[in-house]
């Protein structure tokens, strides 16, 4: 069945996902444009925008940057592990939400 | 392309939230009309694919990173309204669970990646696809072209949203309150990187999957309908 093949494909992408941390590290690439933290902004501009500071600390994500809390600066092996866990957890929740939404929306016909 | 918290003013965030509410409403109605129970798994697969493909950060050596979104692919497969819902689900979970994209910027990020990107990409695809038969190479090329234009226009929108902030919101002595980079920096940074690098990642991902599905004899390349 096609859906089965596609889920296997998604599974393969989960396993391969650490490439998304390994390749940027290998090629010494920085974060995405416009996705810097407070420290980086201060380094680049020489000041911290006032409104930025207030808003940027609004939300503490449970798995920040697809890693575990306090894992900033961990080695690639640990980060790759956290990345795979994050991909799996994220997909489980997203698929669940999408299936639920789809069920609610598709309920009325067929 | 995920705008974090702090880069957009609360008013800007409010505007994009207000813009997205009718879009989400229409999307729900459109999907309600066309989605059959059998097709629900494809909505979930589309959302999951978009989420995981965004984790593949592609580096520009010594420069920045970026990634594909997969939104045009999802739009080509299950229609742009369903793609809007699928990518929205991915973006909301990214913001809440992983802090990828701000919670205050969910409206703006959904506008760029769940609305502009799939819709622009889808209509470019339709235009080039024309009435070429299912399984033809022209459809693969059309999907690739749609992917390229879709992600680049979305990047342009993101650049404009960033770039307007310091013009609209700054202190008396000229310090920005939110995003510090103006249009002349933000727009080229976002647009050129996508035109030269990340846009092509979206093209490759989209074209490969469409080609694969055509080989499988998939029947769900039927325009906006499921």
A70–chain B Cβ distance below 8 A for any pair: no
Q: What digits encode the pLDDT tens for the residues B129-181?
A: 998 888 889 999 999 999 999 999 999 999 999 999 999 999 999 999 999 99
Cβ <8 Å between B175 and A50: yes
Chain B positions touching A3 (Cβ under 8 A) are 41-42, 45
Chain A positions touching B94 (Cβ under 8 A) are 90
Residue count of chain B: 226
Q: Which CATH class is domain B10-215?
A: mainly alpha
- A62, B93 Cβ separation under 8 angstroms: no
Residue A10: half-sphere exposure toward Cβ, Cα within 13 Å: 26
Q: What digits encode the pLDDT tens for the residues A38-58?
A: 999 999 999 999 999 999 999
Rg (CA), chain B: 18
Nearest to B28 among A24, A83, A105 (CB): A105
* A42 lies in some domain: no
B183–chain A Cβ distance below 8 A for any pair: no
Cβ <8 Å between B52 and A90: yes
- The number of distinct structural domains making up chain A is 1
ipTM for the predicted complex = 0.95
Listed by start position, the domains of chain B span: 10-215
pTM of the model: 0.95
Chain A positions touching B53 (Cβ under 8 A) are 13
């Amino acid at each position: 069945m096609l859906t089965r093949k596609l889920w296997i494909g998604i599974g393969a992408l989960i396993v391969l996902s650490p490439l998304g941390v390994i390749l940027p590290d290998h090629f010494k690439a920085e974060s995405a444009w416009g996705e810097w933290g407070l420290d980086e902004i201060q380094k680049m501009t020489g000041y911290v925008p006032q409104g930025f500071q207030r808003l940027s600390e609004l939300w503490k994500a449970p798995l920040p940057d697809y890693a575990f809390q306090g894992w900033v600066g961990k080695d690639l092996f640990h980060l790759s592990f956290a990345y795979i866990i994050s991909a799996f957890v994220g997909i489980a929740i997203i698929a669940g939400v999408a299936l639920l939404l789809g069920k609610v929306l598709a309920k009325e016909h067929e | 392309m995920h705008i974090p918290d702090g880069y957009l003013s609360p008013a800007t965030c409010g505007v994009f939230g207000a813009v997205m509410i009718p879009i989400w409403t229409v999307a729900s109605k459109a999907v309600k009309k066309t989605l059959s129970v059998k097709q629900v798994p494809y909505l979930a697969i589309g959302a999951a694919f978009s989420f995981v493909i965004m984790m593949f950060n592609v580096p520009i050596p010594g420069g920045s990173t970026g990634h594909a979104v997969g939104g045009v692919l999802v739009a080509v497969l299950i229609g742009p309204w369903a793609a809007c819902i699928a990518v929205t689900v991915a973006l909301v979970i990214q913001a809440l669970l992983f802090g990828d994209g701000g919670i205050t910027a969910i409206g703006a990020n959904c506008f760029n990646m769940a609305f502009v990107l799939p819709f622009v990409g889808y209509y470019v695809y339709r235009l080039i696809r024309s009435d070429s038969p299912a399984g033809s190479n022209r459809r693969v090329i059309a999907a690739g072209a749609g992917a390229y234009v879709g992600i680049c226009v979305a990047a342009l929108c993101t650049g404009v949203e960033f770039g307007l902030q310091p013009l609209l919101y700054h202190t008396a002595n000229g310090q920005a309150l939110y995003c510090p980079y103006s249009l002349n920096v933000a727009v080229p940074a976002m647009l050129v990187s996508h035109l030269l690098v990340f846009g092509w990642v979206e093209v490759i991902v989209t074209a490969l999957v469409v080609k694969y599905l055509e080989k499988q004899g998939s029947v769900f390349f039927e325009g906006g309908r499921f």
